[in-house]
Amino acid sequence: MNGHFAAVDNGNGSSPDSNAHNFEHGIQVINEDKQYNTNLNEYLNETHVAEAGFNYHLISVFGSQSTGKSTLLNHLFGTQFSVMSERERRQTTKGIWMSKNKNEGKMADNILVMDVEGTDGRERGEDQDFERKSALFALATSEVLIVNIWEHQVGLYQGANMGLLKTVFEVNMQLFLKDKQNQTRSLLFFVIRDHIGVTPLANLRNTLIQDLTHIWSSISKPAGLENSKIEDYFDFAFAALPHKILQPDKFISEVQKLGSRFIAGHRNKDSDATDDQELTGGVFLPEYHRRIPADGLSIYAEGIWDQIVSNKDLDLPTQQELLAQFRCDEIAREVQIAFDAAIAPLEEQQAESTRAGKPAVLPDLGQIGAEAREKCVKNFETQASRYHKGVYTTKRAELEDKIDNRLKALYQAHLTAAHKAGVTAFSDAVTNAVKAGQKAGGAYEFAEIVEKQKTKTLEIFKKEAQSLAIPGVAWSNFKPQYLIFEKELDEVSARLRKEEMRRLAIRVERWVKSRLGDAIGLEFNKLGSGRGGSGAPESGEKPATEKDIWDRVWKAFISIVGEAESRFTDRAKSFEASDDEVQVGLWRLRRKSWVALREKIEEEVMESNILMKLRENFEDKFRYDEDGVPRIWRPSDDIEGIYTRARESTLGLVPLLSRFRLTSTSAPPDLIEFVGPQPHGVEPGDEEDLTPIGGVDEDEGKSLEEETTILSEPKKQDLVVRFKKMADGVYVEAKRSAIGGITQ
Ligand code: GDP
Ligand code: MG
């Protein structure tokens, strides 16, 4: 398309390099083939108008061919629009040219001037298609329309330029057809050329206004706008210029005066007049501005021109919405570049660390994220808020959504990492502190360690979560994650406490075993003394008999277990174990203690051990008299009788020892009562390492009778046989010694 356009018609042809446009002489916005030049935006960028927001103005000039329009613009604005050569008098091409005012200083900022060529086709006997299209284009975009007119044409109502004005008025109605709420107006600025001075400007003005009103009443108005008045759409301003050739100096000075009017102005209070006598300051009234941000002007103008060229009804509100959508998307993409530059490396880092299985806690994430977000949204707001409000609001929400989703993902993963790291740190710290406490002799308070580490770990997480908070952004409140983290720490604490309970249980069980070893060993050792079952009865204590060995064993056992239970309870309470946990621990302890007791008894009744005890018991009865004095056997002694009594007495122990029975009930101890019901806090893991107990764990198929049977029937018989053999040996030896005593 570039090929169709000349950057400037300055006789040198267009620049050979189509990428580097020479905009020195402005830009052809619409060419003679009615094509739009998309390089306009480039031109606006080059001239720094694009960055001006609403601080720019657009002026178009209209008028018959060769009325000095381009000459006027070039003098007014320092532009270089092509002027018909005096000598050649050749026809200038059709098209619309644009140039930025180069005489800035005393005039408003960023005035863009459009030189509409080839209008007034009627003058040349052409069809008026281009005239209508360019008029519509100019009206849709320009604040001020300069109508260039010879003085001698004023009052010639049938004159050609009046036809042009008629066109302007008619196409103007089209603009308001779709947009009845449109509040924008335009200024028709009549510049009367070759003013001789005989007729004062005021008279020319009156004549023109009469003509305009006349033309207005003659045009056909669309339905709904039949009663509209010319003042509803237009203000008028007037100026006269002397003959450029005949009065060159005066022409220059008047043009300068005219130029000074291109500044901001306002309407006099309470005035609804349309005449420039009611305007103060310059010609640029805020209500003339089309409110198209400069960086969207090119796109907007293109859309307008497309509609005009394809003869569609010009729908400015829709065009403005389309423009807003296009530009907001563009701006959103632009502002996201900086956001991306700040955030993408963090996303990459996070993804990498997650892949490596070590999710990273990214330093300064909250600050970087909040800053990137704020910048991005602010930049978008600055540029995009100039566009259609509804579109802007939607697009802003879309943008926020997009960047927030990225930040959210980043923050969530970050907190997940912080969560993981925190749990590990907490667990390690507690474990290490416990280890250190154990090393230092076990004087540590588990509950204190947990509390201290929990506070510390929570504080770190809280700081991390708070550092991510963005003021006024609801999703960045991570309190729920904090609460989840706290809950997990409590779970970990419970697990660690359970481990601590296990360690405590093991210590207490060891203690029980060791105490049982001593106490039960002592009771069985007493069997070795066969006289009445009592060794040397301690003073005050009822002499123990062999018959109540199980009562004594059970009593010792109950006392040891009772002491162990209170030790366990005290310690468990100190680290704030729950009642349930304590009950489970005690239940386990009682069961393990019983098993330990059984093991100890089994050790005592192991063949060699029990045989030795029986032998000692027998020998004590056989070899010593009632007073504990060793017997010296004489042939006259009733060795056989003593032997038989001692043997039978000792043999009587075997059935006694073979079953754990209490004398008070002649029954086994009530293990069900001792162990107690299973507490409801028991979890599967709590039972795994427990040995089943007959009569207590019913489904084990082992009865209490079996559980309390110490010597099985075959073992018993075997023991009796062995004992008898042993006793026989002792008897024979005694017999021999008695005979030997006589022969001696
Ligand atoms: P345009 O077609 O309306 O843009 O007119 P130009 O600016 O190309 O000028 C057409 C011719 O009118 C040129 O030969 C100019 O020298 C001449 N011209 C320019 N300004 C004036 C003026 O103020 N008075 C008169 N009489 N001729 C002028
Ligand atoms: Mg011209």
Q: Which whole number is the average pLDDT over 56-63?
A: 94
What spacing in Å lies between the alpha carbon of 142 and ligand 1's midpoint?
A: 23
* C-alpha count within 13 angstroms, C-beta hemisphere, residue 41: 11
CA nearest ligand 1 atom 14, residue: 86
Spacing of C-alpha 683 from chain mean position: 37
**Nearest alpha carbon to residue 410 among 467, 458, 463:** 467
Helix (H) or strand (E) holding 517: helix 479-525
What's the CA gap between 650 and 427, in Å, rounded?
60
Helix, strand, coil % over all residues of the chain, rounded to 5: 60, 10, 35
CA nearest ligand 1 atom 23, residue: 244
Q: In this predicted model, what pLDDT tens digit does every residue of 6-53 receive, in sequence order?
A: 444 433 334 344 455 778 779 999 998 899 999 999 999 999 999 999
Which tokens sit at 352? 């990498």
Pocket perturbation via mutation, ligand 1, pick of 67, 74, 250 by most ligand atoms within 8 A of CB: 67
Residues 614 and 650: beta-carbon distance below 8 Å: yes
> Other CB atoms closer than 10 Å to residue 228's CB: what's the count?
15
Is the pLDDT at 465 greater than 60, yes or no?
A: yes
What spacing in Å lies between the alpha carbon of 72 and ligand 1's midpoint?
A: 8
Share of the chain above pLDDT 70, in %: 90
DSSP state of 52: G
Burial of 2 (0-12, 13-18, 19+ CB in 10 A): middle
Amino acid letter for position 419: H
Q: Which whole number is the average pLDDT over 540-553?
A: 72
Q: Which whole number is the average pLDDT over 107-117?
A: 94
Residues 676 and 583: beta-carbon distance below 8 Å: no
> Other CB atoms closer than 10 Å to residue 711's CB: what's the count?
19
Mean pLDDT is lowest, of 153-157, 467-471, 497-501, 667-671, for: 153-157
Is the pLDDT at 743 greater than 50, yes or no?
A: no
What spacing in Å lies between the alpha carbon of 59 and ligand 2's midpoint?
A: 15
What's the CA gap between 37 and 29, in Å, rounded?
5
Pocket perturbation via mutation, ligand 1, pick of 77, 83, 99, 195 by most ligand atoms within 8 A of CB: 83
What spacing in Å lies between the alpha carbon of 150 and ligand 2's midpoint?
A: 15
What spacing in Å lies between the alpha carbon of 245 and ligand 1's midpoint?
A: 9
Pocket perturbation via mutation, ligand 1, pick of 84, 153, 192 by most ligand atoms within 8 A of CB: 84
Q: In this predicted model, what pLDDT tens digit does every residue of 578-614 receive, in sequence order?
A: 899 899 999 999 999 999 999 999 999 988 889 999 9
Pocket of ligand 1 (CB under 6 A): 63, 65-71, 83-84, 86, 92, 193-194, 243-245
CA nearest ligand 1 atom 20, residue: 68
User: In which band, very low, low, confident or very high, does the pLDDT at 574 lie, cut at 50, 70 and 90?
Assistant: confident
Residues 185 and 233: beta-carbon distance below 8 Å: yes
Of ligand 1's listed atoms, the one at least distance from the Cα of 241 is 23
What's the CA gap between 691 and 673, in Å, rounded?
17
Q: Which whole number is the average pLDDT over 457-475?
A: 94
What's the CA gap between 26 and 551, in Å, rounded?
120
Q: What separation in angstroms does the CA of 685 have from each of 310, 491, 565, 681, 693?
A: 82, 16, 21, 11, 18
Of ligand 1's listed atoms, the one at least distance from the Cα of 63 is 3
What's the CA gap between 614 and 718, in Å, rounded?
13
User: In which band, very low, low, confident or very high, does the pLDDT at 90 lie, cut at 50, 70 and 90?
Assistant: low
Residues 417 and 361: beta-carbon distance below 8 Å: yes
Q: What b-and-e string marks burial along 402-439, b requiring 16 or more CB atoms within 10 Å of the CB? A: ebbebbeebbebbbebbbebbbeebbebbeebbeebee
User: In which band, very low, low, confident or very high, does the pLDDT at 576 lie, cut at 50, 70 and 90?
Assistant: confident
CA nearest ligand 1 atom 21, residue: 68
Residues 669 and 554: beta-carbon distance below 8 Å: yes
Give start and end residues of each alpha helix (H) in 68-147. 69-77, 129-141
Q: Which residues contact 10 (CB under 8 A, 6 or more apart)?
A: 25, 80, 82
Maximal C-alpha separation, the chain: 188
**Nearest alpha carbon to residue 111 among 290, 284, 300, 299:** 284
Give the pLDDT confidence score for residue 274 in this predicted structure.
61
What's the CA gap between 51 and 459, in Å, rounded?
48
Of ligand 1's listed atoms, the one at least distance from the Cα of 71 is 7
Share the mean pLDDT of the chain.
87
What spacing in Å lies between the alpha carbon of 686 and ligand 2's midpoint?
A: 101
DSSP track, 243-300: -TTTSHHHHHHHHHHHHTT-SBEEEPTT----BGGGEEE-SB-GGG-----GGGHHHH
Mean pLDDT is lowest, of 86-90, 413-417, 460-464, for: 86-90
What spacing in Å lies between the alpha carbon of 114 and ligand 2's midpoint?
A: 11
What spacing in Å lies between the alpha carbon of 105 and ligand 2's midpoint?
A: 25
CA nearest ligand 1 atom 16, residue: 86
Q: Is pLDDT larger for residue 274 or for residue 183?
A: 183
Pocket perturbation via mutation, ligand 1, pick of 9, 62, 71, 148 by most ligand atoms within 8 A of CB: 71
Which tokens sit at 251? 């022409």
**Nearest alpha carbon to residue 601 among 530, 544, 523:** 523
Give the pLDDT confidence score for residue 406 in this predicted structure.
96
ipTM of the prediction: 0.99
What spacing in Å lies between the alpha carbon of 258 and ligand 2's midpoint?
A: 19
Give the pLDDT confidence score for residue 153 in this predicted structure.
86
